[in-house]
Amino acid sequence: MRNRFFLISGMMVLVFIFSSCSPQTINNNNPEMVLKHFIKDVENDNFDDAIKFLNPDTVSSRGKIWARRWVKLNSYNIKSIKVEDIRVLGGTAHAKVEIFYKDGKTKDTAIDLIKNNGTWYISPSFSFKEEK
């Protein structure tokens, strides 16, 4: 009976740990994975998950409300994003992307990434917004 209790308790702890994994814990060790998960969150309107991939220094200085609004504003009308090229230069990376909008328009732009304490993050220095 005691062994069964410990087994069930251990399984519950494991389920809790694995279910609480956020995008932050996925794999921020390379810019391609960060960009892939950020794009997935943007395409699915998961704004709170998307901001976890933004540079934490920028988010902490400007605030989470700003970060959520920034992601939401920049992802408006986006259908999908295609990564064309990523170039890593030391602690920074530069990704060229093509954005496809729901209204049929497309836009070529760039996304910069930065390595912060050994972890890659999106640098919110770009805009996904359509050019008029």
Q: What is the pTM of this model?
A: 0.70
Q: What is the pLDDT of residues 59-69, one digit of tens each?
A: 999 999 999 99
Cα–Cα distance list, 119 to 34, 72, 90 (Å): 9, 23, 12
pLDDT of residue 21: 46
pLDDT of 128 above 80: no
pLDDT of residue 49: 93
3-state secondary structure of 119: strand
What confidence tier does 24 reach under pLDDT thresholds 50, 70, 90?
Answer: very low
pLDDT of residue 125: 73
Fold classification of 28-123 is Nuclear Transport Factor 2; Chain: A, (3.10.450)
Q: What is the pLDDT of residues 45-98, one digit of tens each?
A: 899 999 999 999 999 999 999 999 989 988 888 899 999 999 999 999 999 999
